[in-house]
Amino acid sequence: MNHTSNVMLITTYHTNNFFQISCAYPSVIQPGEELKISLNITAIKTCELKKVTWNLDGITNKTVKIDIANLGLNQDLLEGKSLDHELIFSTEVGKEGYGEINMTLDFSTVDGLEKAFSWDLWISIFKRVLANNKNALEDDLRKRLVNVVNARTRNGHIFMADHVRFFSEFLNVEVTAEIAVILTDELLLEEEGLPVNEEIFYAIVTGQTQFYGMEKLELIYEEYCNESDDNFDTDDAREVPLNPI
C-alpha cells in the first residue's frame, strides 16, 4: 500500500488455476482526474489471453467512462511469464460518483477451452473538501458518508477500522486533528483498539479480513441530524446475510 497525499494506492490480488492478476488503483480521485488501473498478469499455467472488459454500470452518476470497448490482448502467456498493462479511464469535471467496476479477463486454455475470470474494484470520485464545522459534520458530507458506507459491505468495515482515514482516503474529506476528535466522539468510535494498525487496516481494505467479525454496518441519514444525540449509532450493526466483501 502506498500513499500520495490523501490517496491510498490499493493493490489487490486475484488468482485462479491459470494466472494471478494484481490490480493497482487509487482509493479516491477528484472529478476530472484520470482513473489509472495497472494490471499485472502472471501465468500459473500456459494460456492464451484474449481481452479485458469492464462494466461501469455500478458507478453512480455515470461518472467514469472510457473510449475503447475492451483491451485486446490476443497473446499466449507461458507459465511463469508476466504481462503488464495500464487502463486509463476519464471522469467528468464537476461530476461526483462512487461504486464498483467489474473487470473480466477472457482467456482460453491450451486445450482451447474458453473461460472468463472476473473481479471488482471500488473507486470514489469526489471533490476534495475540508471538514471545518466544529459543531457537526455538514449535511452534504453526512450524505456522502452514509451513501458510501451503505453501498458496499466492505466500506462499513473500513469505516469502523479507522473512520478518519476513511473520510480522507475514500470520501476525499480532509479532517483536521481537532475535527477528528469531534468526529470520534460524535460517531461513538472512541474505543480501545481503534483505530486498528496499518496491517489490519490494509487487510480490511483489500478484503482479506473483516472488522472484528462484524457482518454489515448500515448508517441512517437524518436531515438536520446535528440536533440528534444518536446521529450514527455504530453499535447498531445490523446482522444480514453476508456476501463476499
For residue 195, cis peptide bond before it (omega within 30 degrees of 0) = yes
Which of 54-68, 93-107, 179-193, 229-243 is predicted least confidently?
A: 229-243
pLDDT tops 50 at residue 14: yes
pLDDT at 223: 64
pLDDT at 242: 37
Domains of the chain: 2-125 (2.60.40.1150), 129-227 (no CATH)
**Strand order of the sheet with strand 35-43?**
2-4, 7-15, 19-26, 35-43, 82-91, 64-65
More confident of the two residues 13 and 182: 13
Write out pLDDT tens, residues 113-169.
999 999 999 999 999 999 887 666 788 999 999 999 999 999 999 999 999 999 999
- Helices (H), ranges, the chain: 139-151, 153-161, 163-170, 177-186, 198-205
- Give the whole-angstrom CA distance, residue 119 versus residue 95: 25
Task: Judge contact between 40 and 17, C-beta under 8 A.
Answer: no
Task: Judge contact between 201 and 168, C-beta under 8 A.
Answer: no
Cell of 17: 488455476
- Give the whole-angstrom CA distance, residue 131 versus residue 36: 27
What DSSP character marks residue 127? -
Average pLDDT over residues 22-37: 98
pLDDT at 1: 54
The top-scoring range by mean pLDDT among 90-104, 180-194, 209-223 is 90-104
| HSE-up (13 A, CA, CB side) for residue 30 | 9
Confidence of residue 238 (pLDDT cuts 50, 70, 90): very low
pLDDT tops 60 at residue 216: yes
- Give the whole-angstrom CA distance, residue 179 versus residue 136: 9
Confidence of residue 229 (pLDDT cuts 50, 70, 90): very low
Confidence of residue 244 (pLDDT cuts 50, 70, 90): very low
With a CB cutoff of 8 Å and minimum separation 6, the contacts of 108 are 47, 48, 50, 114, 115
CA 91 vs. chain centroid, Å, equals 16
* Predicted TM-score (pTM) of this structure: 0.87
pLDDT over 90 percentage in the chain: 72
pLDDT tops 70 at residue 198: yes
Cell of 43: 501465468
Write out pLDDT tens, residues 41-89.
999 999 999 999 999 999 999 999 999 999 999 999 999 999 999 999 9
Confidence of residue 237 (pLDDT cuts 50, 70, 90): very low
Identity of residue 53:
T
| HSE-up (13 A, CA, CB side) for residue 40 | 10
pLDDT over 70 percentage in the chain: 87
